[in-house]
Chain A
Amino acid sequence: MSKKRISRPAKRPAPKSASAAEPAVNEAAAAGGPAQTTTSPSELAPVSTTQGADGVVSAASPDEADAAPDDAPTEFVAPTWNHSLIDVTPEPVWEPDLKALLKSWRRGRATKRLSQVLQDGYVTIFSVLVIVAMLGGAVFRAQSEATACATATCEVGRGLLPWVMLFAAFTLTLAAARVFGPVVASAAEGFWLLDAPIRRARLLRRRLVAVLGAVAGGAAVLGAVLAALTGYPWPQILEWAAALGLGAAGLTGLAALEQTFARTWLVKLVQWLFGLAALAALATITAVAGGWISLDLDSAWSTRVVIGLGGAGVAALVLFGGLALARLDQIHRARLVSGGNLISGMQGAAFAMDLGLMRDILVERDAMAKGQVRPTLGLGHGQTAIVGRELQRLWRYPKRLVLLVVSLGVPYAVGALGLTRFNPFISALVLLIAFVPLLGSLRVLTRTRGLARLFPFSNARLRLATAAVAAGLAAIWAILASPAFHGLGAVPDASFSTAAANALVTAAAGLLAAVRWVSAKPADYSTPMMQTGFGALPPGLMFNLFKGLDVVAVMTGPLLLGWSPWVSVVIGVIVLYLLSGSFDMKEAQQMQAELKKEREQLKGGGKPGARQVIAPPKRR
């Protein structure tokens, strides 16, 4: 009698009694049909079954199976797996245990402690501390310079500038909260955990609290720096820090609550209101600096409002944050995971210190969300078509101009604070950020050589065409900002020609810095690596953070030193030549190599190493 042996892997510990492990044999098998066993999950023991010639399956306990003779037929028959788990009542899951398990696994896989990582990278940490100390020094120098200015304009500027920054910070907080979540989950969590019948709130509660805490902390530091920069004493610095921190946390709580309702309109509305408030405050500073209006700010009133704002932040945090915590179960999994995916993409770019790539990810996401546009016919032919398309882009996406419009108030605000000497540097830094959204095409063409290759222009002409509209806007900005560089008080800071030149240099520095920012090559991981405390890094990685800033420093440096604007103009022309792609190091090397090869061939009569034969001169 031939017997087939079927073995099945153990799923759970074997039950104590053999009878409990015995699977039921279905009637079809008993009748001679295909054998099927049905086992409830609790009965998944290492069972061996033997099938007789009559098709009847009998079960044996593990001990009996092990006792089977070695020469028994070993032909493998796929086990019948019929456990749909339909009738299983799941046991309640205690979510904190799941989290603890994940934490334990993660810790088990770590190869280094945080302290060891910090020890290994002490050179980098030391460098960062030095940079932070330098920035801190610069802030306090600026503070003392700002405090020294005692004119009415300076007083108003000092009184209103923190409000501009506060409203701007709230706007950015809401924008970031809306884009990311603010409550997020990774793709893995979305797949493995959130699909399970667990209470999401228990998993996400600490996460939301951590986000609120991080936002409060970050905003408080920003508030303290801003208050220090504008020359406030310590008590007021603390008040501003608290107001900004608590306000930002309260608004993040609102965004989280809106996330539980799967809607964004309220957050968008509040975001726009704060954006407009920032613009209004900036416009007021400009108007006061220009002498168009006069304003008498009551510092006591301002302090009361700041304290009230902090109180409102606490109320918002408690109310919205509390409601959001109570409704965390309602957040859609897709919404949680989409924010997590975005963060994961941004983290990848952040590890490469590639801010451009981070922006690309956000731009792609925006485009995906928009999906469709009403197509428009292009304008002109040749390079004009590219310039025309840039204009049409601006018409379609006017939001890209918002930052540039805002940046126009910066030289006036800086002048109003009495920081005239730093005006070109600070304004150019703001312009660097403002021009980036206007150079989207240049960014794509630089990043994607395949797309650039489709156009019948050299790289230099292509770059100039894509930056032409931004250059026109920079010229307009320079004209409108010239009065700020001239000086708005009774005694002008500079002659009108010098002011116009300074404004032009500032605008050009901002534009060229933005061009450098969008067109800089990312770190090349195929080149030989540099050994650092944090491991091997590509040589260009550290410079990624400074791209753009270098152009601002180089071009506005001469103005800070009091040199002629013409020095900056000459530097600007060199920077333009380098950035336009007219100079390509690899191409130059290739051409040099080709020339060398041609010279060798000429010397060698066409073959490297062959003797050159010189024909005798012909006689007439």
Chain B
Amino acid sequence: MAKARIPVLKVSNLKKSYGDHVIVSNFNLEAWPGEAIALTGRNGAGKSTILRCLVGADRPDEGAIEVNGETLRESNPVIRGAVATVIDDLDFFPDLSVVEHLDLLARAHGLPDSDDAVDAILHEVQLVPQSGQLPGTLSSGQRRRLALATAFVRPRQLLILDEPEQRLDVEGVEWLAQRLKTERQAGLAIVMASHEPTLVKTVATKTIRVGER
């Protein structure tokens, strides 16, 4: 696949610290279409901090983050339209059912065949029996599946995932690996943090070990 002129995501000299404790320093990254980058490393190495900076949930102390050549601003609607994220700060409307969440997202993103897309992803994440349930009644694994479905039911150029395998059963992790591999092969850029070797091996085209000097 021919590479575009600019990367989907470009991170230069990222630095983030909490108080005097430097979590990440001089971190650089470029993600191109069709590329999947896995961040690995021990707990507390700074993977989630990096991802939180990449989605705009945290502000880096130094460095620049660009999405499609545009400086990252969390509330920029263009960037929000291009980047799908599943990190730990996601919650749901307590009064909307599973399928209504997906329907709302698909419609908000202007998906032409939103009903078909919602049906397809609902089957894929195996939440059809729970489609009418309110999120508060879902198990933690089902909530994770719903979170992943929110990323797959909408258009996207870049997918940012923080330990997406968390709380998934073995079959779920296998499905996720194959799904992400297919997405990557279709031209999606992926940046994810993971502790699951199978997922990293199947999906990633590049692995960055965070926290090792």
Contacts and interface: CB of A to CB of B under 8 A. Distances in A.
A381 B107 contact: yes
A563 to B, nearest CB: 36
Given A389-B96, A456-B80, A457-B80, A448 B91 contact: yes
A454 B75 CA distance: 10
Nearest to B87: A450
Contacts of A370: 134
A449 B132 contact: no
A437 B14 CA distance: 42
Interface stretch (A62-70, A478-486, A501-509, A581-589): A581-589
A9 interface: no
Interface in A374-395: 374-383, 385-386, 389, 393
Contacts of A373: 95, 97, 100, 132, 134
A397 interface: yes
B131 to A, nearest CB: 6
Interface in A440-460: 440-441, 444, 447-451, 453-459
B27 interface: no
Interface string A362-374: 0110111011111
A367 B94 contact: yes
B100 A389 contact: yes
Contacts of A385: 104, 107-108
A458 B55 contact: no
Interface residues on B, range: 35 or more
B137 A368 contact: yes
A120 interface: no
A594 B99 CA distance: 41
Contacts of B115: 377
A451 B56 CA distance: 13
B108 A456 contact: yes
Contact of A367 (B91, B95, B107): B95
Nearest to A447: B91
A296 to B, nearest CB: 46
A251 B80 CA distance: 52
A450 B89 contact: yes
Contact of A455 (B56, B71, B95, B105): B105
A374 B95 CA distance: 11
B61 to A, nearest CB: 11
B132 A451 contact: no
A375 B131 contact: yes
Contacts of A586: 59
A99 interface: no
Given A385-B108, A389-B100, A449-B89, 5 more contacts: A367-B94, A372-B137, A385-B104, A444-B93, A451-B92
6 contacts: A363-B95, A372-B97, A372-B133, A373-B100, A458-B76, A581-B75
